[in-house]
A and B are shown apart, each in its own frame.
Chain A
Amino acid sequence: MFDKIFPYLLAGVSVGGQYALIAVGYTMVYGILRLINFAHGDIFTAAGFFMVYISATMPLYLAIPLVTVLTVALGFTVERVAYKPLRTAPRMSIMISAIGVSYLLQNLMWYITGGLAKQYPVLPWISDSITLGSASTKVVTIVTPILTIVLVTALVMLIQRTKIGMAMRAVSKDFETAELMGIKINSVISTTFIIGSFLAAVGSMLYFTNYTTVTPTIGAMPGLKAFVAAVFGGIGSIPGAVVGAFIIGIAENLIRAMGYTTFSDAFTFALLILILLVKPTGLFGEKTSEKV
């Protein structure tokens, strides 16, 4: 019994870590801007395509940093062009803008790739196969959760201990007061997007090492699931997003193990609706009350 489930469990932990890296980007942006950044999943896909094209022309030790830089630049640009002009607009407008950006990025990627699935390059070492007990898997499966935890711990330290982290916390608590205290709102928001995109770039390298083909719309589903993970853990809370992502990753693979593959996506959303009804603030979320 355990031997049968073990490979799925392993895959669940691995994909959970990848979701976690995306989910942190969602939860940080939501914490500060109160915006579901629908384009985040597409930035994740774009990171995949950057890798496909760049690794074709240069060695990997140059390609990996370049891909990361480009992804961060993309995230930064999206924020500056599509979200910054709408800072004073109603929240619905920013969300529509996010959907518009997602639509644009998907169409752009379709145009550039001609709509064909591209083969992701083989990253050395993490693509190697290893055998763990009854399961044979790639090294990336083991590396993902470890790397995720290291990166997230570093991020939490950054937020708790550094000046920019303090500024982020201040902005997410109260926009206007933070501004009055002399915090440069725009640079804080940009930093948030930069960190989110950086983690998405790392997440995409791990994810596509597992799934190996990149298509223009492939990021939509992991993106939405990562968002669900962020809500599940309590939106705005980074440890919450990570825990939520691991739970979703594992649960989804266990459902596959039971033979209900069609429902693995639906399950995620059922979980979302359940959590929103029972505990809308999520596992680790703060309680907010609305003033008239």
Chain B
Amino acid sequence: MKKNTKTIVNLVLLALLFLAVWVIERTSSASSMLITVLKKGAIYALIAVSMNLLNGFTGLFSLGQAGFMLVGAYTYAVLTIPVAKRVAVYQMYAGGAIHFQLPWLVGILLAGAVAALFAALIGYPVLRLKSDYLAIATLGFAEIIRAIIQYEKLGPITNGSLLLKTYPTFKSTLFPFAAAAICIGIIVLLINSTYGRAFKAIRDDEIAAEAMGINLFRHKQMAFIISSFFAGVGGALLAMYQGTLQANAFKAAMTYEILLIVVIGGMGSVTGSVLASFLFIACSEWWLRFLDAEQFIGSFQVPLLRSGFRMVVFSVVIMIVVLFFRRGIMGDKEFDVEGISKWCRRKFGKGGAKA
């Protein structure tokens, strides 16, 4: 297929997706599980793709994603809470130290920018470290950021360890979809550019890449900053989705979950991460819910089913993927029209020849 036709086909598919989401939203009630999955799935898709840019495309094993999401979420919430409601939110801190509010779009962009700024500062020292040291150092930074945000003395800005609320949120499912689509689109453009090719070269062999004249540090830093920018935006969207915000939720476990999504989708596949996000959220929030409830067949109580069993089954499935299907759903391939048509031709090749 020519490049132009491919772009057009992809855009048409994207438009159809949005139409489908719009129809679903019109036809089902706002509290339905499907809507929840779609909203949260879209946000997680963005965050997973941003992490994949680092771990899957640049080969930097970073575990700081939750920290950057936290920075983004707090930047957004702190700057957009309406002035009139600040007294109620910052009860303990006499209305807080900030007496202005920004429109939501500026808030989201600033969320990304501040997260990127943090990444630039942090990246300077830690990106010199190798694989597992980098992992543990970024994980450590996420913990430090969480501790700083909950620090009492910063209470007038961050509200300490108390909830932030009443900042602007979204109602329509289309909003997270549009935001995620734009951001993922930018990441895809980046991956297909010369920079993206340099990232992949670094992932495949650092020394060879350096010998080919790629500035290792600059490219690593770039990937790190861009990934953090989108993690920050993702954090802001997550804050909007939740409606309330507390630093305590952004623990290392959150980073692990996103990492597992990336692995399930396939390291180095954008569409894989997107598919895996929806799958992950759908399983954990919806499809496996029945495992958490005690069930009876006649008078026979089905054994094992009780609160928490869902997550056990879920993590066993994840372990199976990690151990036996190491390439995940997509490997490093992308899910696109060309791939599907090729697959169809291979699968139904004989039928096609007859016709």
Contact = CB atoms under 8 A, between A and B. Distances in A.
B204 to A, nearest CB: 11
B294 interface: no
A99 B139 CA distance: 13
A283 to B, nearest CB: 15
B307 to A, nearest CB: 7
A248 interface: no
A100 B325 CA distance: 14
B137 A110 contact: no
B312 A108 contact: yes
Given A228-B140, A266-B143, A96 B259 contact: yes
B190 interface: no
Contact of B307 (A115, A228, A272): A115
Interface in A226-268: 227-228, 231, 262-263, 265-266, 268
Contacts of A36: 132, 135-136
Contacts of A97: 319, 322-323
B126 A273 contact: yes
B151 A262 contact: yes
A277 B147 CA distance: 22
Contacts of A106: 253
Interface string A86-98: 1001011101110
B248 interface: no
A95 B61 contact: yes
Contacts of B242: none
A151 interface: no
B125 A277 contact: yes
Interface residues of B, number: 45
Nearest to B314: A107
A76 to B, nearest CB: 17
B311 interface: yes
A95 B152 contact: no
A166 B152 CA distance: 52
Contact of A114 (B55, B137, B151, B308): B308
A154 to B, nearest CB: 28
Nearest to A277: B125
A263 B147 CA distance: 6
Contacts of A96: 259-260, 263, 322
Contact of B308 (A101, A115, A272): A115
Nearest to A36: B132
Interface string B110-148: 000000000000000110110111011101110110011
B260 A100 contact: yes
Number of chain A interface residues as a range: 35 or more
Contact of A227 (B131, B136, B152, B326): B136
Nearest to B140: A269
A175 interface: no
A269 B319 CA distance: 28
B207 interface: yes
B253 A107 contact: no
A95 B135 CA distance: 10
A107 B288 CA distance: 14
Most chain B C-beta atoms within 10 Å of own C-beta, residue among A91, A108, A231, A262: A262
Interface in A45-91: 81-82, 85-86, 89, 91
A276 B125 CA distance: 9
A169 interface: no
Contacts of A115: 307-308
A35 B158 CA distance: 37
Given A36-B135, A231-B136, A93 B319 contact: no
A292 interface: yes
A217 B254 CA distance: 13
B322 to A, nearest CB: 5
Nearest to A102: B256
A54 B144 CA distance: 37
B179 interface: no
B208 to A, nearest CB: 9
Contacts of A89: 326
A289 to B, nearest CB: 12
Contacts of B35: none
B132 A93 contact: no
Which 6 A-B pairs have CB atoms at the shortest separation, nearest pair first?
A: A269-B140, A111-B308, A266-B147, A107-B311, A104-B315, A266-B144
26 contacts: A34-B132, A82-B319, A93-B322, A96-B322, A97-B322, A104-B315, A107-B308, A107-B311, A111-B307, A111-B312, A114-B307, A115-B308, A217-B253, A220-B252, A224-B139, A224-B252, A231-B136, A262-B151, A265-B143, A266-B147, A266-B148, A273-B140, A273-B141, A276-B126, A276-B133, A277-B125
Interface of A: 34-36, 81-82, 85-86, 89, 91-93, 95-97, 99-104, 106-108, 110-111, 114-115, 217, 220, 224, 227-228, 231, 262-263, 265-266, 268-270, 272-273, 276-277, 280, 292
Given A82-B323, A110-B311, A269-B143, 10 more contacts: A36-B135, A36-B136, A81-B323, A92-B55, A114-B306, A217-B253, A263-B151, A273-B126, A276-B129, A277-B128
